[in-house]
Amino acid sequence: MKIGVFDSGLGGLVITKALIKTLPQYDYLYYGDSAHLPYGDKTSGTILNYTLQAMKYMIAQHCKLIVIACNTATAITLRYIQQRFIPIYAPDVKVLGVVIPTVETAIAQNQTHIGVIATNATVHSKIYTTELLKLNPKCTVTEIAAPELVPAIEADDFARAAEITHRYAPYFGQCQSLILGCTHYPLIKDYFRRELPNVSIISQDELMGEKLQDYLRRHSEIETMLSKSASREFTVSRSDCHAQQVAKILFEDIKICQAA
């Protein structure tokens, strides 16, 4: 029984690499919905439909624990999937998101002005603002969408991504910390750190490994069901040479396969 990692494209490979580094003994299946990216500019209904298709595929591939690495999919679909879909479709499967672990990390820094940069759909959902204020009602949240970043990163155009980062950085100059609220953004976290040297940059690849390790430590009933042969499978809904090039930024010997 595998740990599954789902993302709207290839950005979730950043999270997968972090999980494998911290928890290398487990079997992993990565699934990126590259045929439909980016999710950030789509309607909530469309995002839910695509995410449910992904969940069904990953469950059929024997994933017992699924991490929705996509912030947009987490924001729009996680509650529905946890409360309505999974209890009926696959009650023995657990599905987790990336937003709550990220919010917990930000609040633990005891800072009062927190920035969030994410996709349109994530920002419009207000999930980060809502969850941050739940934990600290006195904090100030500056949440801004940067819809151009994901297409630039997926196109392997990091020069353009650097320009976009430079354009958005001034909005967060007064923040004490900045949440990179998209799994693509860890690939350009150094750009944000260069532009905002006095702001603590919270990048999900730097926290999810430890957070999942802690979750499994607290949920032995799930941990004991996971297989441990250190196998890795990387699949996408549409594969091409470009996808292979982007993937190799993270995994030198990776082979991306198109899901059946």
> pLDDT tens for residues 21-78?
999 999 999 999 989 988 988 999 999 999 999 999 999 999 999 999 999 999 999 9
What is the pLDDT, as a whole number, of residue 254? 80
Q: What are phi and psi of 219, to 5 degrees?
A: -125, 75
Residues 37 and 76 in one domain: yes
* Structural domains in the chain (count): 2
Structure tokens of 121?
Answer: 């759909």
Residues 112 and 237 in one domain: no
Q: Which residue is catalytic, options 70, 175, 241, 257? A: 70
CATH code (residue 245): 3.40.50.1860
Q: Taking all residues of the chain, what is their mean pLDDT, rounded to a whole number?
A: 94
Residues 136 and 180 in one domain: yes
Section 173-191 average pLDDT: 95
What is the SS3 assignment for 189-255? HHHHHHHCCCCEEECHHHCHHHHHHHHHHHCHHHHCCCCCCCCEEEEECCCCHHHHHHHCCCCCCCC
Residues 85 and 126 in one domain: no
CA distances from 192 to 149, 166, 184, 197 (A): 12, 8, 13, 8
Residue-range definition of the domain harbouring residue 190: 99-204
Q: What percent of the chain has pLDDT over 70?
A: 98
pLDDT at residue 259 greater than cutoff 90? no
> Which residue, 204, 228, 245, sits at the end of a domain?
204
Residues 44 and 163 in one domain: no
pTM: 0.92
What is the pLDDT, as a whole number, of residue 248? 77
182 is catalytic: yes
Distance CA(11)–CA(13), nearest Å, equals 5
241 is catalytic: no
126: left (phi over 0), alpha (psi -120 to 50) or beta: left
> Which residue, 204, 225, 245, sits at the end of a domain?
204
pLDDT at residue 250 greater than cutoff 80? no
pLDDT at residue 209 greater than cutoff 80? yes
Confidence bin at 80 (pLDDT 50/70/90)? very high
Confidence bin at 206 (pLDDT 50/70/90)? very high
Residues 118 and 159 in one domain: yes
Dihedral, 103, 107, 108, 109 alpha carbons, nearest 10: 120
Residues 137 and 191 in one domain: yes
Q: Which residue is catalytic, options 63, 139, 175, 182? A: 182
What is the pLDDT, as a whole number, of residue 242? 65
Structure tokens of 63?
Answer: 């994933």
> pLDDT tens for residues 110-122?
999 999 999 999 9
Residues 113 and 154 in one domain: yes
